[in-house]
Amino acid sequence: MNQEVFAALAEALQRGEEVALVTITASTGSTPQRVGAKMLVFADGRTIGTIGGGCYENDAFGKAREAIAARKAQRVKYDLTDDFAEESGLICGGQMEVFIEPLEPAPDVYIFGAGHVGCSLARMAFEAGFRVHVIDDREKFANAERFPEGVETLVDDIPGWIAAHPLAPTAYAVIVTRGHRHDLEALRGLASRPARYVGLIGSRAKIKRVFDALVEEGMAPATLQRVHAPIGLDIGAVTPQEIAVSILAELIAVKHGRRASAETAPASLKWDVPMSGRT
């Protein structure tokens, strides 16, 4: 049974799906399953494998889906002699502990713009374990010679590429193009995407112009509140390399739940806030 679970886990991660692995880590007395039994829970409610059935498995299933959403592991103990177990007729006389571990594939980061900041960020993000994709319409910049092996470089019209390629909810999008017009076009296509992170580089004046232009076009201000602008953590970054460090630090913070994702960015992230990154 666990072999089926491991195969499904590998396939899910390959597809870019988030899952949670529920494993019995300890048991005493009589329990329906032994230590090591596993159940794989998908975000949409599908399951593969079992930790023994009954209402305690249903409880673990619910906690697994919560763990996927929160991206936090947890341990849960069940007493199979209590009223909780009696509801399902599983009076086994034992106790059981399970570990619920949310798992997700290496996150994809899409860097729109292959200039100095984009190039530095791509190198650092790749080394930090992200799957990196760099998109730019200039072959002079978006080419394999400038980036480490394993970083995907794509020469394409940025707004056209965005329109043709949906991003996964776990994706990170970083807009560091060469000019305001290109930033505007990229953000127009990305702001409403359900990506985990959308960030835009620029000075306070530039961000205000870009955001105001999109609002005038009819984009809801609430949509733009989800955009990380200022981009990156405020570390006083000045050089392209330092700015790349500040952006990567924010990506990692979002990855580990230490900073708001695109879905939960606080209302304080407004376009009248001073920027840490500059074009």
Two tokens at 167? Answer: 């991003």
Task: Please enumerate in sequence order all residues whose Cβ is within 8 A of that of 220, keeping only pairs 6 or more positions apart, or say none.
Answer: none
The C-alpha atoms of residue 257 and residue 172 are separated, in whole angstroms, by 14
How many Cβ atoms from other residues are within 10 Å of residue 124's Cβ? 18
What digits encode the pLDDT tens for the residues 158-213?
Answer: 999 999 999 988 899 999 999 889 999 999 999 999 899 999 999 889 999 999 99
Two tokens at 145? Answer: 């010679």
The C-alpha atoms of residue 219 and residue 223 are separated, in whole angstroms, by 7
pLDDT at 268: 36
Is 248 in a helix, a strand, or coil?
helix
Average pLDDT taken over every residue of the chain: 87
- pLDDT > 50? residue 270: no
The C-alpha atoms of residue 195 and residue 202 are separated, in whole angstroms, by 20
- pLDDT > 60? residue 253: yes
pLDDT at 277: 41
Q: Which of 12-16, 167-171, 261-265 has the lowest mean pLDDT?
A: 261-265
pLDDT at 261: 61
How many Cβ atoms from other residues are within 10 Å of residue 54's Cβ? 21
Label residue 2 by pLDDT band (50, 70, 90): confident
Domains in the chain, ordered, with CATH?
A: 2-103 (no CATH), 108-255 (3.40.50.720)
Q: What is the largest CA-CA distance in the chain?
A: 69
What digits encode the pLDDT tens for the residues 64-112?
Answer: 999 998 889 999 998 876 555 555 444 555 788 999 999 988 899 999 9
What digits encode the pLDDT tens for the residues 124-144?
Answer: 999 999 999 999 999 999 999
pLDDT at 121: 98
Two tokens at 162? Answer: 């965005």
Radius of gyration of the chain (CA): 23
Task: Please enumerate in sequence order all residues whose Cβ is within 8 A of that of 143, keeping only pairs 6 or more positions apart, or say none.
Answer: 153, 155
